[in-house]
């Protein structure tokens, strides 16, 4: 079996959420618990940090991993989705899992007479947890896939739980109000385990977290109530207005880890912020691809994440703003379009996943919000058209969906 065949098995026999959306969603922890039993509960053999929330999970996970690596710990990192290669999801000290290990895992799973099939995410999570045990990591930073309460990752007993923020996303699974969504996210709060809440959205959401923490006896800290000197963080690799909130969440998390007796120096914190992209392989977060014209891509994909993007873009000097833009069909597309700058030049496109909203449909909806541009059948063509149109004093932004960025980075050879 080749690596390509192994990954295709994962994608085909157990649909990947990023490709098909709701069809891949499997409620409950039965499959996860069966795989965990089969592989000998590997996550019990190292310390974990569990990170949930709507936006910012990836940035927080990668930066915490970089900080711990800078301190000299051996660190596993499990995140989703991947942008170019499946192996991006599972790393140890920034290095992707080997193709050989992925093949071995798939072969082991295929030979067993399971009573039920597994979802893509159940298999990926089992592989990550087992691999981290084999690699003898000191810590593993684990990103929640979807929600929290019933997410595959929620079998761990972490040293710290983190919930970055609450916004509208995946409402068909998590609920159509912020308190309902918060209740699902709060499912990662566990007895006696400190929890850091990144952003206070509103009193109702705050109450959900407070009540859950009280119910299970978990010490709760709201990052926005903390005060930290930011000296030394000016050179942080991750930029953008949203990263200011993430910085506060990360610094609060570091304080809580220190309180649990985990050694983390100020030097390690500064290095982690500064070198997170090179240390952990993070891509697609306010990623600057070129300077003239300033070309930026970002994986923000819902109203809560994109409003920070639009606000930040408005502060940057430019003559014209060019948007290479597409979304997936299960997002609140109109809510996003209603916020977008009216004077930008738009290149409406679609990603190469089944969930992608057709570019023509995005354009049609955009017109109702007084946004105008041309339609392109793929990201590469749209990006090249924007490059051709833009002057050196313009800005090109590529985003709207994680998968738009994934197609772009694949084309650019990342």
Domain boundaries, the chain: 3-280, 287-412
- At 16 the pLDDT is 53
Average pLDDT, stretch 328-348?
92
Partners of 47 in the β-ladder: 139
Average pLDDT, stretch 30-43?
94
**Rounded percentage of the chain residues whose pLDDT exceeds 90:** 75
Fold category of 287-412 in CATH: 3.90.190
**Of 274, 322, 315, 324, nearest in space to 294 by CA:** 322
Looking from the CA of 268 toward its CB, the CA atoms found within 13 Å total 19
Contact 190, 158 (CB under 8 A): yes
Q: What dotted CATH number matches 3-280? A: 3.40.1190.10
Residue 224 CB partners (closer than 8 Å, separation 6+): 198, 199, 200, 248
Average pLDDT, stretch 231-256?
84
Residue 208 CB partners (closer than 8 Å, separation 6+): 179, 182, 183, 186
Looking from the CA of 70 toward its CB, the CA atoms found within 13 Å total 24
| Average predicted confidence (pLDDT) for the chain | 91
Rounded to the nearest 5 percent, the helix, strand and coil shares of the chain are 50, 15, 40
Q: What is the pLDDT of residues 203-241, one digit of tens each?
A: 999 999 999 999 999 999 999 998 887 666 777 978 766
Q: What is the pLDDT of residues 74-128, one digit of tens each?
A: 999 999 999 999 999 999 999 999 999 999 999 999 999 887 788 899 999 999 9
- At 274 the pLDDT is 95
Q: pTM for the complete prediction? A: 0.90
Pairing assessment for the beta strands 294-297 and 395-399 based on DSSP bridges: parallel
Task: Give dist(CA 304, CA 335) in Å, integer.
Answer: 10
């Amino acid at each position: 079996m080749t690596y390509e065949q192994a990954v295709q098995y994962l994608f085909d026999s157990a649909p990947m959420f990023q490709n098909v959306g709701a069809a891949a969603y499997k409620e409950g922890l039965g499959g996860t618990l069966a795989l965990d039993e089969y592989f000998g509960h590997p996550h019990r053999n190292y310390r974990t940090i569990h990170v949930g929330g709507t936006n910012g999970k990836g940035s927080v996970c990668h930066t915490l991993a970089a900080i711990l690596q800078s301190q000299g710990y051996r660190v596993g990192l499990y995140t989703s989705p991947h942008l170019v290669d499946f192996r991006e999801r599972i790393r140890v000290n920034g290095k992707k899992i080997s193709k050989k290990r992925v093949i071995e895992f798939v072969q082991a799973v295929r030979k067993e007479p399971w009573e039920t099939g597994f979802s893509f995410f159940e298999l990926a999570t089992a592989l990550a947890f087992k691999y981290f045990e084999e690699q003898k990591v000191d810590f593993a930073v684990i990103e929640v896939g979807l929600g929290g309460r019933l997410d595959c990752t929620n079998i761990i007993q972490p040293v710290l739980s983190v919930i970055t923020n609450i916004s509208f996303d995946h409402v068909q699974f998590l609920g159509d109000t912020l308190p309902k969504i918060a209740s699902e996210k709060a499912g990662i709060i566990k007895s006696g385990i400190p929890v850091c809440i990144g952003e206070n959205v509103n009193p109702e959401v705050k109450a959900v977290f407070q009540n859950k923490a009280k119910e299970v006896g978990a010490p709760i800290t709201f990052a926005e109530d903390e005060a930290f000197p930011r000296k030394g963080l000016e050179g942080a690799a991750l930029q953008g207005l949203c990263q200011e909130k993430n910085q506060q969440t990360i610094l609060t998390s570091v304080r809580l880890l220190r309180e649990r007796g985990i050694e983390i120096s100020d030097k390690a914190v500064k290095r982690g912020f500064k070198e997170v992209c090179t240390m952990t392989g993070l891509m697609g977060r306010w990623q600057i691809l070129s300077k003239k014209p300033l070309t930026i891509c970002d994986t923000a994909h819902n109203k809560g994440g994109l409003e920070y993007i639009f606000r930040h873009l408005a502060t940057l000097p430019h003559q014209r703003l060019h948007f290479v833009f597409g979304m997936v069909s299960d997002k609140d597309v109109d809510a996003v379009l209603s916020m977008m700058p009216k004077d930008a030049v738009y290149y409406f496109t679609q990603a190469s996943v089944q969930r992608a909203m057709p570019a023509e449909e995005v354009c049609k909806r955009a017109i109702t919000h007084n946004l105008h541009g041309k339609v392109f059948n793929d990201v590469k063509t749209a990006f090249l058209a924007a490059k051709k149109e833009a002057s050196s004093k313009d800005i090109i932004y590529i985003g709207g969906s994680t998968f738009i960025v994934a197609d772009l980075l694949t084309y650019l050879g990342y």
